[in-house]
Amino acid sequence: MLSNYTAKYTKISSGYMGQLVEWPEVITEGKTLEECRDMLKDALQEMIRAYKEQKREFPIGRALIEQIPVEV
C-alpha cells in the first residue's frame, strides 16, 4: 500500500530539522534540505519496519497543510 506523509522542514542553526506531521516521532536533522529529506525518508522506513515487527498500527498519511496569511 502506498501512503503519502506530510513533511515539515524548519531551518535551524546546524541546517534543517525535518518531521512528519502525521507521525511526529519521525524526526531528523541534516546540514542541507536535501540531506534532511533523505534522512527523513530513511527514518520513516525504519519506523515502519519497527512498528511492523511489533505488530503495531502506524499512522496513515492524510494531513492537509494550509498556510494562513496574517499581518503582524
Helix (H) or strand (E) holding 61: none
Number of domains the chain contains: 1
Residue 68 domain flag: no
Integer CA distances (angstroms), 49 to 15, 35, 42, 45, 58, in order: 27, 21, 11, 6, 10
* Mean pLDDT score, 33-59: 95
pLDDT of 3 reads 82
Domain assignment present for 59: no
| Cβ neighbours, 10 Å, residue 28 | 19
The pTM of this model reads: 0.83
Would residue 36 count as lying in a domain?
A: yes
Residue 37 lies in a domain: yes
Q: Are 22 and 63 in contact (CB under 8 A)?
A: yes
> The domain containing residue 17 runs over which residues?
7-53
Residue 9 reports pLDDT greater than 90: yes
How crowded is residue 69: how many other Cβ atoms within 10 Å of its Cβ?
A: 4
Whether 72 maps to a domain, the answer reads no
Q: How far apart are CA 47 and CA 3, in angstroms?
A: 14
